[in-house]
Chains A and B, each alone.
Chain A
């Protein structure tokens, strides 16, 4: 068996038991990357040498009898918006093309402490803005299941990397669906944790009140394993909540969904979206029912009808402020020989940012401006409050909610790139979860006739990750874990 096909849990056990070395695993993953990368282009940086050196160091420590930690020897890939000391962190933007952070993000620190081996940084939509990874300044990533299609976004590189077998684990960030939608497009598991569960320290901010880091994996067990490492309070992030670390793996022992009430949305049933996704949802709902769950129709009218519009006010507003620091003064690219300070700002930002980023900065600046603030920003905040209340009410009736992670399966490269509104509309089922700060998971439940992965999404109340993992484990026992895309021979 090729070692790159192993799950993170299997790798950690194998390395611990001495069945293979961390270096063997890392070399297997690196050669997989080398063979697949020309057609997929999921990576912006591969730190091959450092990874091998790290693996050897871990192997040495293991031989000396040391416990390497829960992720001992596990290869991990990071979305390129998480800071890595000494390794470029570009956010797939020209403006940070050569930027090397002076510090590690908290998630990076935690992964290393747990014994993980970093293989490199994955492609993404520039500054996490987009749903297809086509907004990367450094080229599009292909969906490993269909090379002419997008992997989703904005964490498309991370999702594609896990689907292609580059690593059993990759981290993404989810501001409006950027983990759950690419997980669905690439046929893997993707968890967006409760806002405040994982540290944002060292995550280059897109929209601070919505961003959350989470894992991609090919099994529910691996998602739980990573969350036990990452789901700890971080004093460096004031929005990280001091909840005690959860025993996520314990949730995996669920064999059925007896006594569970799972909500499905009236608004989704009435929504006009892709039949393949509709079929996937019915299939999953049927599986839930067979596993003993009671399916309950609920309504989230504000969330589905107004969530998207409010999100596309709030997220750009925060982004316009978060991205203002890229002005050519301290770090990142800087226009050469400006005539004045103003010219430095204008030229640096004009040349450094891509169209979608500029579009959102302009939108965000507009909605915060004097005279428009009340009509847009304040109104959207009110909608956000209503959405939170709506979810709170729904969760009085149900334990979790099932809905599609996206209205469509993976679309073709270039299909939506000139239609930003259509691209935004693709986030309609994921955005409400971020607006309410809830945890959500996307899991693969099968493939379309033409071989495109199809996912479903479950969401739970705040801190309800265990609920999601139980459900995911039960679904996994029915639909099987995520598969590695080998290309050509489905």
Chain B
């Protein structure tokens, strides 16, 4: 009898909160690319005698995220000290909310393995400070073989929210969707930029397997996954690895493993292998954090529409393909752009189509963000109206669009610059253009004349060629009429 396995995954996600200054001091949180040890002060380097002062903005962002996750916000919380020695931890303790988290008991809905909506429980969200960074002296940057290490405290005391899920996740795909959903959420809320590559969103996974014969494998913690794809691959690898061991009757070693993305495998982590006793106790340097009902209500009232709420509303209000809805709601700013277009009078289908094909194309090419896009929704809608009113062909409109965006000029200026008003080319001018196209495509004309043009395919080709040569300035109906005269059916 062959064994089957049930996968049990719980995720711990550290999200760097979007503040200008650190959790307990006034230093800049901007550590990426900064010269080491420039954004530091006596406090975040743990100088004797310094005392933490809580950054209120961090609490606000934490409450915002907690509410969006449907958590209960604890009215009275305390910070605690997590004691351990490590050179990147300047005080030799990390200030974190251990005993009572800021928020607890929430949930996030993802797609279940059966395709139906599935709720993943949120155990807790708590605030804590980040540690510094170790830079090792070996030429390959690794610990092994290095003769000296350096510490950069720029990241020390940068604010984090740790979001811990229940072990409700049942597949790597679901884990990936869960993280993507949280990432989208924190971005919507403006709570974090949620960048896994840069490390402003770090995911640790706890994974264990339950065997069909009743055995349970020990839990393994997997770290160092720097993208959604890496998370999925790492979990898939662990399921295979643990499954193979359990199939052979072996035991899973309870440990922390690091994902190596290039090797495509996890390996046992050497550091912090022994079990730590963190000797948590309440941080005496900070008074209890007491939040009033009105404080929480104010934050709740200011919550933006959440991505999943927006999606549901689009499904209800707009007749759009599911794929369009996903693309439009992926980023809050893009959705807002879309909605502004609809509000200015564009049909949802046409607005969606143009945003997906043209706006996103330009943004991709230029690497910009929708919030900095030069073309206002109103200007785009004006252009779309010309297309709807047949004043511009779609081809011409795209040319005008490009001109408006690249040269930051008005619609009228762009049309003039491109010289593409529909109907500009007609009568004799258009007739002679048709003539030249027919001459250049003698073989096609021959096929049509010999009545071999199945379903008018060749005729349409010629029409297209003329329209292209006319650069959108011809009325397609007039072109068709001239073609009918030149090539009678």
Contact = CB atoms under 8 A, between A and B. Distances in A.
Nearest to A366: B279
Contacts of B284: 207-209, 239, 318
A368 B49 contact: no
Interface in B76-106: 81, 83, 85, 87, 90-93
Contacts of B42: 101-103
B92 A83 contact: no
Contacts of B151: 329-330
Nearest to B91: A325
A168 to B, nearest CB: 25
B45 interface: yes
A324 B83 contact: yes
A324 B48 contact: no
Interface string A10-49: 0000000000000000000000000000000000000000
Interface string B277-289: 1011100111100
B48 A96 contact: yes
Nearest to B275: A370
A79 to B, nearest CB: 12
Contact of A201 (B45, B51, B277): B51
Contact of A324 (B51, B53, B91, B286): B91
A463 interface: no
Contacts of B51: 200-201, 236-239
Q: How large is the interface on A (under 10, 10 to 19, 20 to 34, 35 or more residues)?
A: 35 or more
B54 interface: yes
A251 interface: no
A326 B83 CA distance: 13
Interface string B50-85: 111110000000000000000000000000010101
B81 A321 contact: yes
Residue from B47, B83, B91 whose CB has the most chain A CB atoms within 10 Å: B47
B167 interface: no
B315 to A, nearest CB: 48
A201 B281 contact: no
Interface string A230-256: 000001111100000000000000000
A236 B53 contact: yes
A203 B49 contact: yes
B46 interface: yes
A422 interface: no
B50 A201 contact: yes
Contact of A204 (B49, B91, B92): B49
Nearest to A207: B284
Contacts of B93: 321, 324
Contact of A202 (B49, B54, B287): B49
Contacts of A369: 277, 279
Contacts of B45: 330
Interface residues of B, number: 28
B53 A238 contact: yes
Interface in B274-326: 277, 279-281, 284-287
B85 A238 contact: no
A204 B48 contact: yes
B100 to A, nearest CB: 15
Interface in A111-126: none
A330 B90 contact: yes
Contacts of A91: 48
A83 B277 contact: no
Nearest to A369: B277
Contacts of B91: 324-325
A238 B52 contact: yes
Contact of A327 (B50, B85, B280): B85
Contacts of A83: 47-49
Given A238-B285, A368-B279, A325 B48 contact: yes
A331 interface: yes
Given A200-B51, A208-B284, A325-B90, A330 B277 contact: no
A53 to B, nearest CB: 25
A208 B48 CA distance: 12
A202 B285 CA distance: 13
Nearest to A240: B51
Interface string A85-100: 0000101000010010
Nearest to B286: A238
Interface in A330-377: 330-331, 341, 345, 365, 368-370, 373, 377
A102 B81 CA distance: 25
A208 B90 contact: no
B54 A329 contact: no
A205 B48 contact: yes
A341 B87 contact: yes
A76 interface: no
Interface string A254-288: 00000000000000000000000000000000000
A105 B45 CA distance: 16
B92 A325 contact: yes
Interface string A363-398: 001001110010001000000000000000000000
Contacts of A317: 281
Nearest to A317: B281
A389 B83 CA distance: 31
Contacts of B52: 238
Interface in B253-292: 277, 279-281, 284-287
Contact of B92 (A89, A201, A324, A373): A324
Contacts of A205: 48-49, 285
A33 to B, nearest CB: 25
A317 B53 CA distance: 22
Contact of B279 (A81, A105, A321, A329): A321
Nearest to A85: B42
B49 A370 contact: no
B54 A331 contact: no
B128 to A, nearest CB: 16
A365 B46 CA distance: 20
B49 A377 contact: no
Contacts of A239: 51, 284-287
A206 to B, nearest CB: 11
A8 B384 CA distance: 83
Contact of A238 (B81, B277, B281, B287): B287
Interface string B369-413: 000000000000000000000000000000000000000000000
Nearest to B279: A368
A105 B42 CA distance: 11
A377 B280 CA distance: 11
B281 A377 contact: yes
A237 B42 CA distance: 14
A238 B46 CA distance: 16
A99 to B, nearest CB: 8
B150 to A, nearest CB: 11
B122 to A, nearest CB: 26
Contacts of A320: 83, 279
B47 A103 contact: yes
Contacts of B83: 320-321, 324, 368
A279 to B, nearest CB: 39
Contacts of A329: 87, 90, 151
Contacts of A341: 87
Contacts of A325: 46, 48, 90-92
B123 to A, nearest CB: 21
A341 B284 CA distance: 29
A331 B85 contact: no
Contacts of B280: 368
4 A-B pairs with the lowest CB-CB distances in the bound complex, closest first: A324-B92, A209-B284, A368-B279, A208-B284
Interface of B: 42, 45-54, 81, 83, 85, 87, 90-93, 151, 277, 279-281, 284-287
Given A83-B49, A331-B48, 16 more contacts: A81-B49, A83-B48, A99-B48, A101-B47, A101-B48, A103-B50, A105-B49, A202-B50, A204-B49, A208-B285, A238-B53, A239-B51, A321-B281, A324-B92, A329-B90, A368-B83
12 contacts: A82-B49, A208-B284, A237-B51, A238-B54, A239-B287, A318-B284, A324-B92, A326-B48, A327-B85, A327-B92, A331-B48, A377-B281
